[in-house]
Chain A
Amino acid sequence: MSAVAEAVSTDKTDIAVSVNDVTKIYPGGVEALNDMTIQFPKGELTSLLGPSGCGKTTLLKIIAGLLEPTSGSVTVNGKNVTGPGKERAFVFQDFALMPWASVLRNAAFGLELQGVAKSERHAIAEKYIDAVGLKGYENLYPHELSGGMRQRVGLARALAVNAEVLLMDEPFSAVDEQTRRKFQEDLLTVVDDEQKTFIFVTHSIEEAVYVSQSIALLLPRPSRVSEIIRPDIRRDISPDAIRRDPVYLDIVERIWKGLRTYVE
């Protein structure tokens, strides 16, 4: 609980998303979240890290407004969440692209639903397709892309609606290892460029330490925030140097020690 208090102690205006006493019981009695309280600072990438069954995806979907909490509340910029909203965008684990639409239309789809004119939304989408490194692929279809490229389209779609909060549900878990590393590096650039709040669900310790400003370590049975870790690793060195940095490796080790009892 001290870690939670620490997060709360930062200035109230710096909190983008605040989860207050959220409990989620699925029909059938499975308790996914129990009285969870956690705050997400503005402009940072916070990872929700934990073993499977700790409710991290459930928490993310409640923040997204895709699931309703059984009790408790979520506020985004001080406003209560009652459903999906313009200020939040979601990046899906399995990409959730429309196979019948081109990369350009997929990336512009959020704007299309908002009723933005075609030329305008295509211009915005092209900008973000470029930003995620897919320039030249605008007219291809999802089945012509690799998994990593599909997820880049998913990210471009979420960025294009210019939401303040980006919710990413294990975005790299369906992507192969080499592509994932490159994608993690590119994500850091996007986080720096966009000044948005990212909430990032992952089950990979290395990934969480590498990409996040802070990591909320969730533990299952009962589901709770056990610790908030700020991996203050050096960002001014090359990605490969970071992965060999003793500080980085120590944090990975420390988190692993905390989690291993739940895996065995």
Chain B
Amino acid sequence: MTGSEAIVPVASGPVAGEPEPRIHVRVGNAFFGLPLAAIREVALLGPLTRLPGRAPGALLGVMNLRGRVVLVADLGLVLGGEPAHRGAASERVLVVDEGRRDVALLVSEVLEIAHLAAEAEQDGLPPRSVEPLATGELLQRIAGFVEARVNDFA
């Protein structure tokens, strides 16, 4: 816990002079910074149930999260890039609130909370080019995706 006094407190919202807190994730070989406000929970990927009658695309299936049925989507495919799901042990799902449904975005790895990245750089880790995603944009994309997919599914 040494040096914990020097850590800058995370801001809950967009504050002038202080960046919005983000959670940095790896999707395949790309890095993204997701707004922390949009994320409700980080969870382990449970057993997936494929949706019947559909070819596996970005929507991987549904999983049971503490008694709730959650749609699982591959963030890489949602963002139009390479898929995140390769069956690695480091894979996590970020649960976001999206209207009526809970949607879990599958990432390859959760790295850190963004305002602590400076500390990581101090640890000698190589700097990463992280693509920041705005909350609105992310939610919009997710909403659009979920809408289309779920409608298809329905």
Say if A and B assemble together. Answer: no
Q: Which residues of A contact B (CB under 8 A)?
A: none
Q: Which residues of B contact A (CB under 8 A)?
A: none
